[in-house]
Structure 1
Amino acid sequence: MSVDRRPLERRPTPPGRFIQHDILDEHGLTQEQLAQRLRVSRLTVNELVKGKRALTASMALRLGRLTGQSPDYWLALQRAVDLWDARQDPDNQIVEEIEPLQT
């Protein structure tokens, strides 16, 4: 399996945007109603939608059950954002200085 290592020019779409558009807007739900269905606080949903909270494995399971999408799908969305953010962080520039193991 080959991995595309080209840097993305823009930040991947965070899971919260999908929650807003594909769940809340599409199904006419409020954040409070979604929170009740997911058995979490409204604050949790609000922070996910606003991108102030990362999506956890537990939330991926809940969203997977609710939407029929795989929990892996939801985690992949979060992972893409996390990796992009890490690559943009100047503290991680040292990664380029690490010498790979010889195979």
Structure 2
Amino acid sequence: MSVDRRPLERRPTPPGRFIQNDILEEHGLTQDQLAQRLRVSRLTINELVNGKRALTAAMALRLSQLTGQSIEYWLNLQQAVDIWDARSASGGEAVKEIEPLTTSSS
């Protein structure tokens, strides 16, 4: 298994931006109204929209039910951000020093 080492030039769009643009703005909902529909706190929605909270599988399930988008769609948005953040935070140097496992032929 190889690691995709292509650098991403910019951070992927976080799920909160999609929630803001494609749900709140497009449907004319407030954060409070969305929170009520999803049966979560307004703080949860606010933190997602403002990028202060990661999207969980439970929230992806709720958003999937609300929007008709798959759970995987929502989780993939978050995963792209998480991977980008991990690559950026590591600086790459420590990761580059890890020696890959080699397969031995028997």
Counterpart contact for 1:86–1:92, Cα < 8 Å: no
Aligned alpha-carbon RMSD (Å): 1.7
With normalisation by structure 2, the TM-score equals 0.90
Give CA deviations for 1:56-102 in whole Å, capped at 9, x if unaligned.
00000000000000010000000000010111114663111111111
Aligned equivalents of 1:12 and 1:61: distance in 2?
A: 21
Aligned equivalents of 1:56 and 1:14: distance in 2?
A: 13
User: Structure 1 residue runs of 4+, over 2 Å off?
Assistant: 2-5, 90-93
Please list every run of 5 or more consecutive structure 2 residues that lacks an aligned counterpart in the other structure.
none
How many percent of aligned residue pairs carry the same amino acid? 78
1:24 maps to which residue? 24
Give CA deviations for 1:14-45 in whole Å, capped at 9, x if unaligned.
00000000000000000000000000000000
Post-superposition offset of 1:3: 7.5
Question: Computing the radius of gyration over CA atoms, which structure comes out larger, 1 or 2?
Answer: 2
1:99 maps to which residue? 99
For 1:1-103, what aligned pairs fall within 5 Å after superposition? 4-90=4-90, 93-103=93-103
